[in-house]
Amino acid sequence: MECGKWYPGTRACTYQQLVIVGEHGDLINAIDRTGAAVTSVWAIDHTADGGDECTHANVNQQPWTYQTGDQGDRGLSVSVTRADGTIGGLTQQGCSSSRHIACCSP
């Protein structure tokens, strides 16, 4: 995850941080670094079962290191309602699904 590369001093938001920023309206009309509308983000929860963070179970057990989904791995994501900045409930997605990664200040 490259938050610090594109937005110095930031890191990937956890699910708990997403809940807070959603409640404060910080995701209203959210866009990514290319200007594309953000409508969903990966919900990073390091306390979740490893299978919920796109872990490559056969190689390294490191979360968010495996993207093709041919091993049946999955990740949790949430939808973003751009009009009011709220987030939806947790949804399991295949790791090959394209979702944004929200960046937060520590």
Q: What does the pLDDT read at residue 86?
A: 93
Chain segment 9-34, per-residue pLDDT in tens: 999 898 999 999 999 999 999 998 89
Evaluate whether 95 touches 67 at the Cβ level (below 8 Å).
yes
Evaluate whether 73 touches 56 at the Cβ level (below 8 Å).
yes
Rounded to two decimals, what is the model's pTM?
0.77
Token pair recorded at residue 92: 């399991």
For residues 19 and 94, what is the distance between their CA atoms, to the nearest angstrom? 22
Q: What does the pLDDT read at residue 49?
A: 62
